[in-house]
Structure 1
Amino acid sequence: MLLDCDEQLFMTYKQGNVEGAENLLATWLEAEVDLQEDPKILGTSLLPKRFLVNEEMAMNIAFSTARKYWGRASTEMQMYFDKYGLDAKFVNDRLNAFFYTQKGKETFFEQLFAQHTIDLERLIWLVFGKRMQMEMPVNELQTIMLYKFQDEYLVHMMYKEHTSFWHWLFTKKVYSLFIHRPLEQFTFLYEIMGHFEHSMKMSCEHVDNFVNNYKLILDKCITHVDKNKSSCLAKKQLRLYQIVTHYCLSEGDYHRVKDFITSFEAEWRYSMYALTEKEKVLIAYILFHIANRELQSEKVIHYGEYLLEDERLNNYAIEILLEYKDLLPNRKPTPPAIIKNYQLNYLENLYAILLDHYVKATRYEDGLLLLKEHVLASNKKINTSLVQKNYSSEQLIAIEAYVQQDIALQVNNSLQHIGLSVEEWRQNYRQLDVPYYIVAQSASLHMLNILRVLFVTEQFELFEKLMEIYKKYLLIDDHFENLRVFISAYV
C-alpha cells in the first residue's frame, strides 16, 4: 500500500530516473501559492501535506503492508524455521494470530512507534517471542519506518526493488520537513538523522567523495535552519549532530569540528536551552580524542580528568551510545585482562590514552594514581598489587597466569589448552596477518607506559615482574628500544 505521491514518483522514476521524479516535484511545487522560498539544497522539496498522515492511516498503511509481505511464511523462510523444529502449520498459525487480531496490530504499532523501524527479523521476534539466530531471506519489503510529527506521521517503506529510489525518497521527505515544518516537531531528531545519513549513502553510491558531499549538504541545511527557524531544543540537537558527524567523518582534519564546537558553546551557553551535563561530556569526549590525535598532552589530561571525575563519562555513556551509535566503542570491558585491544572499549581506551599523556608530560605520580584508582587502567591483579602493596611471589605468579589466560582467549577464544595457545601466540604475534597483531601492538604500548610509571615511581618489584612478563610474551623490538632509551635517559 503506497501513498499517492509515493506511487506517482515511483512510476515517474521508473520511466525517467531521479531526474524525472525531480521534474514532477517541481511541477507540484509550482502549483502551490503562498509558499516560502525553496532553497533547493537537496533538489526540489516535497510538501509534507502530501506524505504526512494521521495515526489511523499510518497504522493501516504500515500494518497492511507488513501483512501483505510478511503475513505468511514463504518456502524459503520455512526452510529456516524447519531448523528450529517449527513446522509450516505452526508458523502460519502464529502469523495469522498476529496479523488478524487487534492485539497483534496494537503490538506491531507499539513496537514500530518505539523503534521507528521494523524489519522481518524484528517481526519474527515479536510473533514468536524470541530472537532466532538465523540469516533471514532477502524479502521484497525490507523495512517499514515511522516517525511522529506533532499529530501526524511519516510512514515510509524500503523495498528491495529499486532500493536507491526508496532511500532517495526518504531523504527527500526528511529534508522537506526541515524546510517546511517547525523544528519543535522533530521529537526523535537523533534517530531520524541517523536514518537520513544512511539513506543518503544508499541513494548516492555513485557519487564520488560522498563524505564531503554529505557534510556540505548537512551544513547547508543547518545554516538554513539556523537562519529561518526559531530557537528550540531540536535546533541545539541538530547542531550537536553536526559536530558529531563532522568528527566521525573528519578523516584527520579537525579544524572545522573545533570551530563548530566553539561557536556552538558560545551560542548556547547562556540560552534557555543551556548545555546539559551530558552534552558537556559529549563535547569533552570529542575534544579529548582530537587533542590526542594532535599530540596536545595538557589538553588530553584536562579533558581526560574531567571525564573521569565523578564518573562523568560512565554516567552518560549509555545515553550517548543510544543517540550516537558509532561514537563510543562499546565492546564489553574486561577488567581481568591486560593483553587486549584498548581501542574497542571507550573507558579502556580513555585510560590508555590518559596514561600515555601522563608519561609524555612526565607526570608519573599522576600516572601511578590512575593505576591505583582505576582497575581498567591496568588489570585486577596489577591494581590489587599496587593498592595493597602486595608483591608476594604468589601475587606475581597470578599476574602471569592472567596474562596467559588473556593470550589463550585472544588466540582461540578458549581457556582450554592454554599452553598451546601461548606457544602459538609467541610464534606469531609480531606477524601482520594474524588477527591478534593489533591486540599485541596495543597491549605492548600500554604495558610499556605502565612500566615507565612503575620505574620512575620506584615500584621496582612489580616493575621487574612485569618486565619479565613483557619480554616473555609481548616483546616488540621498536617498542622495547624506546623503553630502553627512556630508562637510560632517566638514570
Structure 2
Amino acid sequence: MLLDCDEQLFMAYKQKSEKGAENLLATWLEAESNLQEDPKILGTSLSPKLFLVNEETAKNIAFSTARKYWGRVSTEMQMYFDKYGLDAKFVNERLNAFFYTQKGKETFFEQLFAQHTIDLERLIWLVFGKRMQIAMPVNELQTIILYKFQDEYLVHMMYKEHASFWHWLFTKKVYSLLIHRPLEQFTFLYEIMGHFEQSMKENCEHVDNFVNNYKTILDKCITHVDKHNASCLAKKQLRLYQIVVHYRLAEGDNNCVKALITSFEADWRYSMYALTEKEKVLIAYLLFHIAHQEKDNELVIQYGEYLLEDERLNNYAIEIMLEYKELLPNRKPTPPAIIKNYELNFLENLYAILLDHYVRMGRYQEGLVLLKEHVLASNKKIHAALVEGSCSNEQLIAIEAYVQQDIALHVNNSLQHIGLSVEEWRQHYRQSEAPYYFVAQSASLHLLNILKILFVTEHYELFEKLMEIYKKYLLIDDHFEKLRVFISAYV
C-alpha cells in the first residue's frame, strides 16, 4: 500500500530516474502557495501535507503492508525456517495468530512506535521468539519506518527493488520536514537523523567525496533551520548531532569539530535549554579523543579525569550509545584480561589513553592511583596485587595463567588446548596479517605503560613478574626498545 505521492514519484523515477522525480516535485512545488521558501539544499522539497497522515491511516498502511509481504511464507522462505526445525504448517499458524488477532496487532505497533522501524528479522523475533538470519527475496519489503510529528505520522517503506529510490524519497521527506515544519515537532530527532544519514549513504555512496558532500548538506540544512526556528530542545539536539557527525567523519581534521563545539557552548550556555550533564559528558568525550589525536597531554588528562570523576562517562554511556550508536565502542568489558584491544570498549580505552598520557607527562603517582582505583585500567589480578600492596607467589602465577587464557581466547576462542594456542600466538602475533596483531600491539603499549609506572613507583616484585610475562608472550622489539631507553634514562 503506497501513498499517492509515493506512487507518482516512483513512476516518474522508473521512467526518467531521479531527474524525472525531481521534475515532478518542481511542478508540485509551483502549485503550493503556503509553503516556506525552499532553499533547494537537497533538490526540490516535498510538501509535508502530501506524506504526513493521521494515526489511524499510518497504522493501516504499516500493518497492511507488513501482512501483505510478511504474512505468508513462500517456498523459498520456508527453506530458511526448515533449518530451525519449523515446518510450514507451524510457521503459517503462528503468522496467522500474529497478523489476524488483536494481540498481534498491539505487539506490532508497540514495537514500531518504540523502535521507529521494523524489518523481517525483528518481526520473526516477535512472532517466534527467536532471532534468525533470514535472507530476503529480491522484490520483498525490507523495512517499515514510522515517526510522529505532533498529531501526524511519517510512514515510509523501504523495498529491495529500486532501493535507491526509496532511500532517496526518505531523505527528501526528512529534508522537507526540516525545511517546512517547526523543529519542535521532531520528537525523536537523533533517531530520524540517523536514518536520514543512512539513506543518504545508501543512495549516494557511489558519489565522489560523499563524506564532504554530506557534511556540507547537513551544515546548510542546520544553518537554515537555525535561522527559521525559535530556540527549542530539538534545535539544540540538532546542533549536537551536527557536532557528532563532523567528529565521526573528521578524517583527521578536527578544527571544524572544535569550532562547532565552541560556537555551540557559547550559544547554549545561558539558554533556558542550557547543557545537561549528559551533554557536557558527550562533549568532553569528543574533546578527550581529539586531544589524544593531537597529542595534547594536558587536555587529555583534564578531560579524562573529568569523565572518570563521579563515574560521569559510565553513568551516561547507555544514553549516549542509544542516541549515537557508533560513537562509543561498546564491546563488553573484560576485567580479567590484560591482553586485549583496548579500543573496543570505551572505558578500557579511556583508561589506556589516560595512563599513556600520565606516563608521557611523568605523572607516575597519578598513574599508580588510576591503576589502584580502577580494575579496568589493568586487570583483576594486577589490581588486587596493587591494592593489597604485596604479591604472593600464587598471585604471580595467577597473573600468567590469566595471560595464557587471554591468548587462547584470541587464537581459538576456546580455553581447550591452551598450550597449543599460546605456541601459535608466539609464532604469529608480530605479523601484521595475523587476526590478533592489533590486540598484541594495543596490549603491548598498555602493558609497557604499566611497567613504567611500577618501575618508577618501586613496585619491583610485580614489575619483574610482568616484565617476565611481557618478554615471554608480548615482546614487540620497537616497543621494548623504548622501555629499555626509558629505564636507562631514569636510572
TM-score range (shorter-chain normalised) is over 0.9
Distance between the aligned counterparts of 2:177 and 2:168, measured in 1? 14
Q: Normalising by structure 2, what TM-score?
A: 0.99
Is 1:141 matched with 2:151?
Answer: no
Which residue in the other structure is 1:201 paired with?
A: 201
Aligned pairs (5 A) from 1:218-297 = 218-297=218-297
Per-residue deviation at 1:134?
5.2
Distance 2:191 2:160 in 1: 22
Partner residue in 1 for 2:35: 35
SS in 2 for 1:415: coil
Q: CA deviation at 1:218?
A: 0.2
* 2:390 counterpart of 1:380: no
Whether the 8 Å CA contact 1:384–1:390 is kept in 2: the answer is no
Amino acid aligned to 1:32 = E
One-letter code of the match for 2:74? S
Distance 2:50 2:6 in 1: 9
Read off the aligned partner of 1:247 and give its amino acid letter.
Y
Aligned 8 A contact 2:139 2:161 in 1: no
- Contact 1:48–1:173 at 8 Å: present in 2 too? yes
What is the alpha-carbon distance in structure 2 between the residues aligned to residue 308 and residue 34 of structure 1? 52
Q: Which residue of 1 aligns with 2:4?
A: 4
Correspondence for 2:437: 437
Q: Residue 335 of structure 1 aligns with which residue?
A: 335
Structure 1 residue 68 corresponds to structure 2 residue 68: yes
**Residues 211-220 or 86-95, more deviating:** 86-95
> Aligned partner of 1:2: which letter?
L
Structure 2 residue matching 1:72: 3-state secondary structure: coil
Q: What is the SS of the residue equivalent to 2:274?
A: coil
* Structure 1 residue aligned with 2:298: 298
The alpha-carbon deviation at position 135 of structure 1 amounts to 4.9
1:403 aligns with 2:371: no
Q: Which residue of 1 aligns with 2:52?
A: 52
Q: Deviations over 1:42-94 (max 9, x none)?
A: 01100000000000000000111111111101111111111222111111111
- For the 8 Å contact 1:80–1:136, the answer to whether it is kept is no
| Map of 1:427 onto structure 2 | 427
Three-state SS of the structure 1 residue aligned to 2:153 is strand
Q: Is the 8 A contact 2:125 2:131 kept in 1?
A: yes
SS at structure 2 position matched to 1:118: strand
Cα deviations across residues 84-132 of structure 1 (Å, max 9, x unaligned)? 2211111111111111223222221121111101111111111112323
Is 2:108 aligned against 1:108?
A: yes
Residue 288 of structure 2 contacts residue 299 of structure 2 at CA under 8 Å; is this kept in 1? Answer: yes
Structure 2 gaps of 5+ residues are none
What does residue 468 of structure 1 align with?
468
1:151 aligned residue: 151
Which one is further off, 78-87 or 481-490?
Answer: 78-87
- SS of 1:333's partner is coil
1:361-385 CA distance string (max 9 Å, x none): 1000000000000000000000000
| Cα drift, residue 139 of structure 1 | 5.5
Q: Contact 2:337/2:402 (CA < 8 Å) preserved in 1?
A: yes
SS at match of 1:124: helix
CA distance in 2, matches of 1:166, 1:344: 34
Aligned residue type for 1:255: N
Q: Distance in 2 between the 1:227 and 1:155 partners?
A: 28
Between 328-337 and 133-142, report the one with greater CA deviation: 133-142
Q: Read off the aligned partner of 2:214 and give its amino acid letter.
A: Y
Give the Cα–Cα distance (whole angstroms) in 1 for the partners of residues 59 and 394 of structure 2: 65
CA distance in 1: counterparts of 2:9 and 2:423, whole angstroms:
63
The CA distance in 2 between the partners of 1:442 and 1:173, in whole Å, is 44
1:448 matched to 2:431? The reply is no
* TM-aligned CA deviation for residue 36 of structure 1: 1.8
CA contact (8 A) 1:222 1:239 kept: yes
Q: What CA deviation, in whole Å up to 9, does each residue of 1:131-152 have, x standing for no partner?
A: 2355555561110000000000
- 1:317 match: 317
Amino acid at match of 1:65: T
Whole-Å Cα distance in 2 between the matches of residues 207 and 229 of structure 1?
31
SS state at 2:221 partner:
helix
> 1:413 maps to what in 2?
413
| Pair 137,28 (structure 1): closer, same or farther in 2 beyond 3 Å | closer
Q: Distance in 1 between matches of 2:336 and 2:99?
A: 48
Q: Is the 8 A contact 1:405 1:418 kept in 2?
A: yes
Separation in 1, partners of 2:84, 2:72: 17
1:253 aligns to what SS in structure 2?
A: coil
Q: Distance in 1 between matches of 2:107 and 2:342?
A: 41
The code of the aligned residue for 1:326 comes to E
- What is the distance in 1 between the residues matched to 2:470 and 2:392? 19
Measured in 2, the distance between the counterparts of 1:112 and 1:345 equals 30
Question: 1:121 touches 1:136 (CA, 8 Å); kept in 2?
Answer: no
Query: Structure 1: which 5+ residue stretches go unaligned?
Result: none
Q: 1:389 to 1:403 in 2, by over 3 A?
A: same
**Aligned equivalents of 1:5 and 1:149: distance in 2?**
19
Q: CA deviation at 1:391?
A: 1.4
SS at match of 2:395: helix
Inter-CA distance 135–30: structure 2 relative to 1 (3 Å threshold): closer
Q: What number of residue pairs does the alignment pair up?
A: 491
Deviations 1:303-328 (A, max 9, x none): 00000000000000000000000000
Structure 1 residues 41 and 404 mapped into 2: Cα distance closer, same or farther (>3 Å)? same
Deviation at 1:171, TM superposition (A): 0.2
Task: Find the residue that maps to 1:230 and give its secondary structure.
Answer: coil
- Does the 8 Å contact 1:448/1:483 carry over to 2? yes
Matched, 1:182 2:182: yes
Please tell me whether the aligned partners of residues 268 and 274 of structure 1 are also in contact (alpha carbons under 8 angstroms).
Answer: yes
Query: CA separation in 1, counterparts of 2:355 and 2:39?
Result: 49
Distance in 2 of aligned mates of 1:447 and 1:136: 47
SS at match of 2:339: coil
**Structure 1 residue 167 and structure 2 residue 163: aligned?**
no
